[in-house]
């Protein structure tokens, strides 16, 4: 399951040291190295987005990735809040 960041994190430092930007195509993952690009796909809709890992998380059981709002919008999950996803490393 994927979720997305609350607006309260806008501008806060990420674990990589970069300021968080809701309009960037970025994400948090528990273990992938910073700078890794991944393709996030919703198997239920076929929607996909490529994001850059620049933070750690999510810290909620059952979730594998936290997305920026821009990435979540591209996956059509803003109203749901969470969605099932598949993650494929691009680089």
Q: pLDDT per residue over 42-85, tens digit each?
A: 999 999 999 999 999 999 999 999 999 999 999 999 999 999 99
Annotate 18-80 with DSSP letters as a single string: PBP-TTS-EEE-SSSPTT-EEEEE-TTT--EEEEEEEE----STT--EEE-HHHHHHTT-TTT
| Domains defined for the chain, CATH in brackets | 2-89 (2.40.40.10)
Provide the whole-model pTM. Answer: 0.94
């Amino acid at each position: 399951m994927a979720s997305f960041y609350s607006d309260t994190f806008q501008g806060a430092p990420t674990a990589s040291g970069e300021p968080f930007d809701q309009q960037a195509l970025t994400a948090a993952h528990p273990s992938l190295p910073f700078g890794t690009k991944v393709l996030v796909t919703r198997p239920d809709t076929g929607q996909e987005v490529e994001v850059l890992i620049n933070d750690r998380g999510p810290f909620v059981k059952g979730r594998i990735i936290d997305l920026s709002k821009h990435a979540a919008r591209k996956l059509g999950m803003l109203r749901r809040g969470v969605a099932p996803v598949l993650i494929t490393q691009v680089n």
